[in-house]
Structure 1
Amino acid sequence: MKRIGVLTSGGDSPGMNAAIRAVVRKAIYHDLEVYGIYQGYAGLISGQIKKLELGSVGDIIHRGGTMLYTARCEEFKTMEGQKKGIEQLNKFGIDGLVVIGGDGSFQGARKLTEHGFPTIGVPGTIDNDISGTDFTIGFDTALNTVIDAIDKIRDTATSHERTYVVEVMGRDAGDLALWAGLADGAETILIPEVDYNMDDIVNRLKRGADRGKKHSIILVAEGVGSGVDIGREIQDKTNFETRVTVLGHIQRGGSPTAADRVLASRLGAKAVELLLNGQQGQMVGIESNKLVSHDIDEALSREHTVDEEMYQLSQELSI
């Protein structure tokens, strides 16, 4: 193996740049040439490919987003699109590929491997919804962004004696809501993995009010439903003044935390090692602070699960 490529795909996450930097510098350290593929799989198909040097990734470890940009690509889901991508890789003499992204990105990496092209996946998504790793790149930064926002919202909730519903990202996974809710003492946490009962929420709020509680924070993962609709229903059933904040894409931005920079650096370097060792169709991850690798098929086939003990603890501490 003499040349490898690297691309980012799907939703951006803080730490992707640190992972790109690690891939490039680890590869060059081992006398490999590295090519950056811009605009994800769409850029792969159209040949937006450029050789990267050591200086190409200087001063990016602290920056959010991705210097390679990212895009969704419906064409790459087709056999024809996948073959076009491989043609471009062969045109540039690229022998292996590192794909940084989430579930959809891994689907593309799996297809490339099925066509015989060596590909390694690096999990980068703020949702923390990839099986085979304890944490994904970007989760810790997004978590701290959410916590900071809730801290500020709680100040206002306290001052105005209101109930606040805060909607965070997490279409299929409630990790962001659960961890932020536990860290910030949210009174109620709604996540996709656990059914909720509105009467239970209302009764909890009323019990709090009866003992003199003046405000409450309810955290909702977007996969549960609209925070606006949930807030409206709560106000109708309690007559408590209720406000809703949808944090949106602010959660994806910002300078990555130390934890995400280190994680991204370790995972990016590990991906290069796997390619050098002749591995393909694998994803890298971290479990109990040890770097691991799993078959991408296995990771994609396993359903994401939430930490039930942590969820139960959040219920017990918010009585």
Structure 2
Amino acid sequence: MNVRRLIPATAVAGAVALGITALSACSGSDTAGGSDGKLDVVASFYPMQYLAEEIGGSHVSVTTLTKPGVEPHDLELSPRQIGSLTDADYILYLKGIQPAVDDAIAQSGAKNTVDAAKLTTMETHGSEVDGHDHASSDDHAGDDEETAGRDPHVWLDPVKYAEVAEGVGKSLEKADPAHAADYRANTDALVKKLDALNTEYAAGLKSTTTKTFLTTHSAFGYLAERYGLTQEGIAGVDPEAEPSLARVKDLQHIAEEDGATTVFFETLASDKTAKTLAKDTGLRTDVLDPLEGITDKSKGDDYIQVMESNLAALQKALGAK
């Protein structure tokens, strides 16, 4: 179950103090960057890491707070990770999806932070489950008025992700003016890739037998809206939650009415719920990766490859013509 995890203020304060002490013990140079001259970048999880690496190129050294295979929403930070926020030259995160990260950054006093949620327009994607309206934020937004109820999964829409990429590029130019031209060129190259990906999706999903897909993780609201699809979440906010009998009946009806063929599950969560529902409804199962992390189980080595695998899975499930 995705539960908001709070970091004790004393733990954060202690970790930050350690970070400041370590920073003071360094060589006394005021120049940003590590000993190798690169900009030290901390990314909250894979979608932010990918942007930092693609745009930063050879001028950045990127570390991520979320290790491969770790479910990012419930991430708990170690004191060392919290301390690293103070030492970083640049922090890239997405407010509203990882409460522990949001809390640590807010309490660390780190100055050069970039919130990807402010680089595009965030929306609310709700779905009716068991008679209740569940926002697709998966309860990751906490109580912050700026993010509460908003769907944080903007990276699954290539168009919105490109908007975020452009904002990240501009912020890196300001953080490291000496290499601004390279950051600008890398940003342009990445945006072209994302534009091409958007074109692939638009063409590949333009004509399908059905527009409805079922998923254990309601992370694809932006993607569905972009390409005229309908996302049906199984049990609301938790990708591993068991759907009620009423919801199973609803989904059976939806599948019959809309011609849905497939129940999608993700790589970082159990497929038990998807397989149980598929058995009860006579549907197939397949992977639709929310791209919150890359592992050896991922159907691709990076964002672009996994998104192309997702497109192929959707085309098969929706009966693309």
TM interval, short-chain normalised: 0.3 to 0.5
Higher strand share: 1
Choose 1 or 2 for highest CA Rg: 1
Larger relative contact order (CA 8 Å, sep ≥ 6)? 1
- Give the TM-score taking structure 1 as reference length: 0.38
- Give the TM-score taking structure 2 as reference length: 0.38
